[in-house]
Amino acid sequence: MTAVQGLFGGAAAGGSDLLLEAPLVQAVQEADASAGLLYLLPPGADYLQLTVLTGISRRIVSPWEQVWLSARAPVADAVRERRLLWLHDYEEVARRYPRTALLLPEAFALAIAPITTDAAVWGGLALMWPGAHPPELAQREADALQSCCRRLGLLLERAADSDHPVLPGREPRLIPTLRARAPAAAEALAAFDFAERLPEGCCALDLDGRITFVTAVAAELVGAEIPDLLGALPWEALPWLDDPGFEDLYRAAVISRRSLSFTALRPPDRRLTFQLHPDAGGLSVLITPAAVSDSAGTPPPRHPPEPAAPGRANVLYHLLHLAATLAEAVGVRDVLERVASQLMSAFDIQGLALLTAEEGRLRVIGQRGFTATLMDRFDATLLTDETPGAQALTSGVPSFFATTEDLVRAYPHVVVLEDIAACAFFPLIASGSPVGLLVLGYDRPFPWTPQERAVLTSLAGLIAQALDRAILYDAQHHLARSLQAGLLPAVLPAVPGLDVAARYLPAGRTIDVGGDFYDLVRLDAHTAAAAIGDVQGHNVNAAALMGQVRTAVHATAGAPPGEVLARTNRLLTDMDANLLTSCLYVHLDLARHRARLATAGHLPPICRHPDGRTEVLTLPPGLLLGVDPDADYPTIEVPFHPGTTLALYTDGLVEAPGCDIEEAMSSLADRLAQSPPGPMSALAETLVQRTEPCAPHTDDIALLLIHHTPHETRQPDK
């Protein structure tokens, strides 16, 4: 392996994703879809990786080659929520997925389903149709999609069970569209002669937009030589076509499968009409001189820009996408992943690293394509050192080294990048302050044009702002989570005769502190008390009040449940906190096998009886804490025999937009009934697993499970 190969990665993937091609092609054919995309969820990852595609250009879908499960994207929603997602109305797409609509401004229909088995989620499968598809997904189309997902799920599960998991390759594998028939050599030559005899110019583009065939008439009309056109993108080979609008028309034709046309000005004064005729394999283009009568219905002539690479259409496309992507980035890791997935493919970069400036040193926060040894040399570099990275950050000026010789001439004592053919260093400055450094590496000499330097410098500005926000977010998130953890019990007490487990999940990726709480108090050898509640709001005030409520309940534990809540209520009304609080208090008497409960506006607990039957307990209502200082909280008593389990929870576990709360509680009771016997820690994981990571939740979740053990006591789980 050469030094450059060692620097930028090893050999290509082994090709296990070949197993996925046949099911994908079959699904596309059975559903009469125009394109298919198959995503895999790598083991332990929280993102989906595009692995195999057919019927659509990788150039078009490159912004979605890697999709975070938490992202607001169609494939992420379908996989995370484990449901079939159907999109047809373009206005709905723009409303629900504005970035998708912005980058694909052409009507299309999309059906996505998760690839699952009983054991795991393996990925997602998307089928696409032109916008002319009927508003509803046909049953045979849905059957083809879901049948393929089942087949793929079993295939992926068997491969994983045999210790040969199917993993995404370095790049998505494009399956060429099958031709109805393959012409013989004589027939192909006759077709070539036929095209050459036509008075109009003809050329063919593949799905990526590259010219695969062009006639002599077409070459003469556009003013270029055939060898210069073959294999090139039209808007790169012909500077006067380097306009975002022309590439948008190509993209629209591929997605919509509709014939489109446009007129462009070939300098100095020749206007040409281009007719695009797409199918599953690419586009046929007919080129003719524009008739005078065409002028009334065509846009004004396009004036030629200065030749430059990359083309303006390509630059604007990726600039727009990166800006939209970074706007959704949250933490530092988010920024790194989104920058790497977008920039490296768009600008043919082999190595990318992000560093932050901390206490006078550069710190590597992540990289793609570089070796660990190289990053170790970068890490902890003093900003006062005479290195290209430190100099770029302190000076605020990007530096470009087109060859290794250029680097050595500028920094003769630096050997950090000795195996890289070309590299660039971009200072990341936000609000006038240095935030970090972006390092790009290439495996070949790379003489940047002035436009490329300007584009990359602009992108570095976007990255700097996103990184600055992400660093602040991570710091606040860590502080919020530390505060939250400090307000909840570090360890639940051991109570003989009880197996207890608790779980707390914060709401999504918010940095706010929630007001959900739970507690367990050992009173004596045969009695204990449990409480769960929810303070209104997600902020420091809610967290502080939550801590006071928990302390008040803990201090009065042992008194009758109604009295505990009444005392806590008077405390809150005296404090005039203006925050409503729900609470459920349970007194457990293990010797008498009974539980006494009272509620202050909290959701009712669920009881699983020793025979496995479950019910949502009906409690007499009580006002929320902090409303009326004279409120009364009635108490009820229920049996609590050995083998009984009580589930106490907050609304985040059962509430979701558009979901009926009664049905959600009934569903939770069913899941509790169907859960196999075992420790409460395992049951707690089972009950919250739908919310992490496969279903969205917008509120904190607290869960407290209390099981009366018939025999020896289990140690409580945290």
Residues 341 and 452 in one domain: yes
CB-neighbour burial class of residue 585 (10 A; exposed 0-12, middle 13-18, buried 19+): buried
The pLDDT of 465-493, averaged and rounded, is: 73
Residue 27 sits in a domain whose CATH number is 3.30.450.40
Model confidence at 146: pLDDT above 70: yes
Assigned domain for 6 exists: no
What is the extent of the structural domain holding 512?
A: 489-708
Torsion 618-619-621-626 (CA) sign: negative
Q: pLDDT band at residue 479, thresholds of 50, 70 and 90?
A: low
Of 456, 480, 504, the one marking the end of a domain is: 480
Spatial distance between the Cα atoms of 356 and 334, rounded to a whole number of angstroms: 15
Spatial distance between the Cα atoms of 388 and 400, rounded to a whole number of angstroms: 9
pTM of this prediction? 0.50
Assigned domain for 304 exists: no
- Please give the residue that has the higher pLDDT: either 574 or 485: 574
**H-run or E-run covering 521:** strand 516-522
Residues 585 and 692 in one domain: yes
Q: Residues 425, 388: contact at Cβ < 8 Å? A: yes
Model confidence at 714: pLDDT above 50: no
Residue 218 sits in a domain whose CATH number is 3.30.450.20
Residues 622 and 700 in one domain: yes
The pLDDT of 346-366, averaged and rounded, is: 85
Residues 153 and 267 in one domain: no
- Please give the residue that has the higher pLDDT: either 614 or 91: 614
Q: pLDDT band at residue 294, thresholds of 50, 70 and 90?
A: very low
- Determine the pLDDT at residue 280: 81
Residues 117 and 248 in one domain: no
Parallel/antiparallel/unpaired status of strands 47-54 and 173-175 = parallel
Residues 623 and 498 in one domain: yes
Question: How many independent structural domains does the chain possess?
Answer: 4
Assigned domain for 38 exists: yes
The pLDDT of 226-236, averaged and rounded, is: 91
Of 439, 456, 480, the one marking the end of a domain is: 480
Q: Residues 63, 280: contact at Cβ < 8 Å? A: no
Spatial distance between the Cα atoms of 681 and 704, rounded to a whole number of angstroms: 10
Assigned domain for 318 exists: no
Spatial distance between the Cα atoms of 427 and 392, rounded to a whole number of angstroms: 6
Residues 104 and 127 in one domain: yes
What residues contact residue 116 under an 8 Å CB cut-off, 6+ apart? 82, 122, 149, 153
Q: How many CB atoms lie within 10 A of CB 61?
A: 18
Assigned domain for 634 exists: yes
Q: pLDDT band at residue 521, thresholds of 50, 70 and 90?
A: very high
Assigned domain for 693 exists: yes
Residues 241 and 165 in one domain: no
**H-run or E-run covering 139:** helix 139-161
Residues 209 and 107 in one domain: no
Model confidence at 121: pLDDT above 80: yes
Least confident of 203-212, 331-340, 422-431: 331-340
The pLDDT of 574-581, averaged and rounded, is: 76
Assigned domain for 279 exists: yes
Q: Residues 641, 707: contact at Cβ < 8 Å? A: no
- Determine the pLDDT at residue 312: 46
Residues 263 and 240 in one domain: yes
Pick from 130, 336, 316: which is nearest to 235 by CA? Answer: 316
Of 243, 273, 289, the one marking the end of a domain is: 289
Q: Is 184 helix (H, G, I), strand (E, B) or coil?
A: coil
Assigned domain for 501 exists: yes
Residues 334 and 476 in one domain: yes
The pLDDT of 68-83, averaged and rounded, is: 90
Least confident of 68-77, 289-298, 629-638: 289-298
Residues 476 and 493 in one domain: no
